[in-house]
Amino acid sequence: MIHGSDRNAVRFEPIRSWSSGGSWVQRAGGPFQANAGQAGAGRAGPYRLCPPEAARRLANGFEAGLDAAALLLFPLLLVVPRGIAALASVAGLFAAGLLLTAGRPAPVRDFGRAIGLFAALLTWGGISILWSIDPWRSLEMTARLAGLFAAGFALALAADVIAAPARLGTCLVFGFAATVTLAVADLATHGALSRPFSTRFYQPSWLNQASITFAILLLPASAFLFGRGRRVAALLLGLAGAATICALAGTAAKVALGAGLPVALLCWRWRAATARIGALLAVLVILTAPLTFTRLERGAELVTTADEVKLSAGHRLLIWSFVGDRIAEHALAGWGLDSSRAIPGGKDPIQPGETWLPLHPHNAALQLWLELGVPGAVLLALVVGTLWLALAAARWPPWFAAAAGGSLATAFVATFATYGIWEEWWQGTLWLSLFLVRVMAHAAATGSEL
């Protein structure tokens, strides 16, 4: 802050917010409330670079930007899904600005373990440049992920300093409801809405990115409305969203939502136990992936059945088998960050229109094993396990915690059958989803008004 005794000097001074038991403290010619009992209690005070009134106006502007990001998430997924990377980056900048100007503490220490795990993952990915078969690609992805992770953590931290979480949640719900309607219209008109934004021939699979995100955020958005007392609206959104997911072409979204619903029910009754079991199962699934997913194609009947369920499913099993063989060749350190597209033999044809490894394994666990070896797989397992344990400890209303548990299970299943884990739009979607769930949780816990 700028002190009256030396207005030419700018000092970075932490400002702690008021809570019960706080006291008035004079700073920079004006009072603000601080709670000495919370100093150092795991919440770092933000830093202001301007007078309080200007900071308040800036904070309002940054929060309005985050409201707009929540509103635009689903419409953008419908027409330009790759634009989510840019949306997440801009939202991360708004979040960083809010952290600097809001005058409310952010839970930095609460995220210490997660920040450490992602930093270790990024560092190991950077080190893998030394042996990567595509070092320039690995270097480029390291830089991209550094920016995405920074934006993601800014969003996650900013969720705790949002002044009007209910307003932001309402923006998300409006965008969600509008896009459900637009997605049905786009499907019925064979891309009348989305076709102008693409040069490719229209396919129903264009809506898969929107469909999988519908599945991830359906339960939290419905629970948010339920907690606001809008139970009819919550029911309608839930039914309309589920029906739209079933109507769209994306098989992964249907399977992921089908996995998330029973987990939500279990979390409703036994949240802590369910979350701890979820953490254990997630770790086991990730660490044993080279011994499980890669052997599924050995059952000829399973491959045939997979093709009957989805045209590309049998091909995916063959991809996993190929990836398993390549993992065995470099199991300890992997082939290098984002090297999947350059794996020897990956471009060899299986049959017309199919290769052994087109771009990535369509499986997050196998991709980490393939590219970053044992350390990458272990770090991914620890990240996912940490999320489940955080759910177990979260002080959220039971109904919203149950919805969040279902959402986490849906996202976890989706990462095992869909997109490359480093795709920027997919990273942006996952980080924005985490941010939005946390914001809606605060609205549910505090009963804040719009």
Q: CA angle at residue 295 from 293 to 300, to 5 degrees?
A: 115
- The residue among 450 and 198 whose pLDDT is bigger is 198
Query: How far apart, in whole angstroms, are the C-alpha atoms of residue 127 and residue 148?
Result: 18
- Average pLDDT estimate for 251-280: 95
Is the pLDDT at 335 greater than 90? The verdict is yes
Q: Could you tell me if 183 and 81 are in contact, meaning their C-beta atoms sit under 8 angstroms apart?
A: no
- Average pLDDT estimate for 189-202: 79
Is the pLDDT at 33 greater than 90? The verdict is no
Is the pLDDT at 15 greater than 50? The verdict is no
- Average pLDDT estimate for 94-115: 88
pLDDT at 19: 35
- Average pLDDT estimate for 83-104: 93
Share the mean pLDDT of the chain: 85
pLDDT at 203: 78
Helix 251-287 × helix 364-393 angle, to 10°: 90
- The residue among 120 and 357 whose pLDDT is bigger is 120
Query: How far apart, in whole angstroms, are the C-alpha atoms of residue 226 and residue 403?
Result: 11
The predicted-structure confidence for 409-428, as pLDDT tens digits, reads as follows 999 999 988 899 999 999 99
Q: Could you tell me if 369 and 327 are in contact, meaning their C-beta atoms sit under 8 angstroms apart?
A: yes
Helix 231-247 × helix 165-188 angle, to 10°: 40
- The residue among 128 and 203 whose pLDDT is bigger is 128
Query: How far apart, in whole angstroms, are the C-alpha atoms of residue 362 and residue 317?
Result: 10
CA trace torsion 182, 187, 191, 192 (10° rounding):
-50
3-state secondary structure at position 26? strand
Q: Which letter, b or e, does each residue of 8-24 get, where b requires 16 or more Cβ atoms within 10 Å of its Cβ?
A: eeeeeeebbbbeeebee
Strand extents, DSSP E, 6-141? 23-27, 30-34
- Average pLDDT estimate for 130-156: 96
Residue partners of 14: CB distance under 8 A and separation at least 6 = 44, 45, 46, 47
The whole-model pTM stands at 0.86
Residue partners of 55: CB distance under 8 A and separation at least 6 = 48, 49, 101, 102, 103
Q: Which band of pLDDT confidence, cut at 50, 70 and 90, is reported for residue 2?
A: very low
pLDDT at 43: 47
Q: Which band of pLDDT confidence, cut at 50, 70 and 90, is reported for residue 3?
A: very low
pLDDT at 310: 66
Q: Which long-range contacts (CB under 8 A, 24 or more apart) does 274-281 make?
A: 274/405, 275/388, 275/389, 275/391, 275/392, 275/405, 276/388, 276/389, 276/392, 278/388, 278/391, 278/405, 278/408, 278/409, 279/384, 279/385, 279/386, 279/388, 279/389, 279/392, 280/385
pLDDT at 48: 53
> Residue 73 to residues 76, 164, 188, 220: CA-CA distances in angstroms?
5, 18, 22, 15
Six token digits for residue 255: 């399977």
Find where tokens 């209910």 sit. Answer: 166
Integer distance in angstroms from the first to the last C-alpha of the chain? 30
pLDDT at 311: 64
Q: Which residues pair with 259 in a beta bridge?
A: none
pLDDT at 401: 95
- Average pLDDT estimate for 100-129: 90
pLDDT at 417: 83
- The residue among 229 and 65 whose pLDDT is bigger is 65
CA nearest to 406, candidates 240, 223, 209, 280? 223
